[in-house]
Amino acid sequence: MVHLVSSQCPRLRNLYLSVSLADVSDVSIRSDSIQSLELCVKYARKFEAMAPELEVLSMSDATEARIYAPKFEEVTWDGDIAYDPRRHCFVDAGRHLRLLDLGTNGAAVASLMQRFDKANALKLNVDLNNTGSLGHTSFLNETVRLPKCETLRLRVSLGDYYHNLAPIILHLLRSCNSIRKISVNVDSGLPMRRYSCQASCHCRLPASRKADGIILDALEEVKITLIRSSCEEVEFVEQLAKCHAPSLKKLAINCEWSDSPTKEIQEKVCRMFNPDVDVKFNVS
């Protein structure tokens, strides 16, 4: 057992650990003062933390973990190892977070999303790069249930395989009827390198591209950042306008100058929404 922190540091509040152990070992942290912990320990067989004052936790590539932190409010889970309730245990932790950040491999931590009932803010990365139709199906299966949240921050990387954007976002919105703010960052990749997904892929089904029945009564603000603008992104905005969102007040669309939508498209988007909605295009 490797003891990284103990009672010898009685005033320690914030700890960032990024180390590679010489041999595979168990790792232990015990502290009555730590409030923020960012952890990346390679070759750790099992990680244990006894931190009753811990509020902010960031973990990467933890094979096994047992963490006693009844006060934590922010959790970031990153790396290639998915959360597994059989191997990762949060002792006496609540089910309501201030922030749940699913890191760069968000689609692989469905069990962690199910561990919590509510997160004021949920950050989710949807990376479908180089996965084809199987990757899209896996994404759908792993995001059937999301924690109840007020703010949803999405980063969507479509990568080399072509998937329609609208079904991806609409699928998530069907589980987010309490949401107040949405931020969507879309990276469409390079069109000349993209390959078509299979004809049977869910994103090609007409029903998956419709906003029928999506109720967003609390939605007030939407921000969309397009790395590349295209007809697929416009289709998503069109379907968003068809959602039942009576409280929507602001829509901001950010795009690059070299690939910005034409004046005709901008006018078309403005006409999709109620006149009370402030629609702005920000070109950088």
The answer to whether residues 78 and 104 touch, using CB atoms and an 8 Å cutoff, is yes
With 60 as the cut, is the pLDDT of residue 190 above it?
Answer: no
Which pairing describes strands 74-78 and 96-101: parallel, antiparallel, or unpaired?
Answer: parallel
- Tokens coding 42: 């390679």
Task: Report the pLDDT averaged over residues 114-135.
Answer: 75
Residue-level pLDDT at 130:
47
Domain ranges of the chain: 1-94, 95-284
Give the closest residue to 99 by CA, choosing from 187, 15, 142, 36. Answer: 36
Residue-level pLDDT at 161:
58
Give the closest residue to 179 by CA, choosing from 279, 241, 124, 247. Answer: 247
Task: Report the pLDDT averaged over residues 189-215.
Answer: 70
Q: Within 13 Å and on the Cβ side, how many CA atoms surround 137?
A: 7
249 confidence band (pLDDT: 50, 70, 90): very high
Residue-level pLDDT at 250:
96
107 confidence band (pLDDT: 50, 70, 90): very low
**One-letter amino acid for residue 278 of the chain:** D
Burial of 66 (0-12, 13-18, 19+ CB in 10 A): middle
Residue-level pLDDT at 53:
93
Q: How far, in whole angstroms, is CA 187 from its chain's centroid?
A: 14
Task: Report the pLDDT averaged over residues 176-186.
Answer: 90
pTM here is 0.85
Please give the CATH architecture assigned to the domain spanning 95-284. Answer: Alpha-Beta Horseshoe (3.80)
**Which comes out higher in pLDDT, residue 276 or 194?**
276
Whole-number mean pLDDT of the chain?
A: 81
- Tokens coding 185: 């960052």
Beta strands in 51-175 (DSSP E): 56-60, 65-68, 74-78, 88-91, 96-101, 118-127, 148-157, 161-162
Residue-level pLDDT at 132:
47
3-state secondary structure (DSSP) of residue 139: helix
